[in-house]
Amino acid sequence: MKRIRIKLSPDAEEVYRYLNRQAPNSRLERMILKAVNQKTELIKANPHFGDGIPKNLIPEEYKIKFGVTNLFRVELPNLR
């Protein structure tokens, strides 16, 4: 089986670190972190998990900044 690697943008990495720091003391951050980790495992199991974004709707910024050629949207639960 092909090994799947999840790479976060610098902004997403910063938020992920924040969630990890706050999770022990905050129920909301703990719930969000759990949801992110669950979705990450689903993506590792199926790289095409989520809603596919048509290529013509992928923002140019993502294509340039991240080299994106395929994009999938994964919804997190509304926790507020």
According to DSSP, the residues that pair with 76 across neighbouring strands are: none
As a whole number, mean pLDDT of residues 13-35 equals 95
Other Cβ atoms within 10 Å of 19 Cβ, number: 20
* pLDDT at residue 1 greater than cutoff 70: no
Q: What is d(CA 40, CA 34) in angstroms, rounded to the nearest whole number?
A: 10
Summarised one tens digit per residue, pLDDT across range 31-79 is 999 999 999 999 999 989 999 999 999 999 999 998 989 999 999 887 6
Q: Are 79 and 33 in contact (CB under 8 A)?
A: no
Q: Which long-range contacts (CB under 8 A, 24 or more apart) does 45-49 make?
A: 47/4, 48/72, 49/74
What's the confidence (pLDDT) of residue 40?
94
Q: What is d(CA 66, CA 38) in angstroms, rounded to the nearest whole number?
A: 23
Q: What is d(CA 64, CA 70) in angstroms, rounded to the nearest whole number?
A: 13
- Its pTM stands at 0.81
* pLDDT at residue 20 greater than cutoff 90: yes
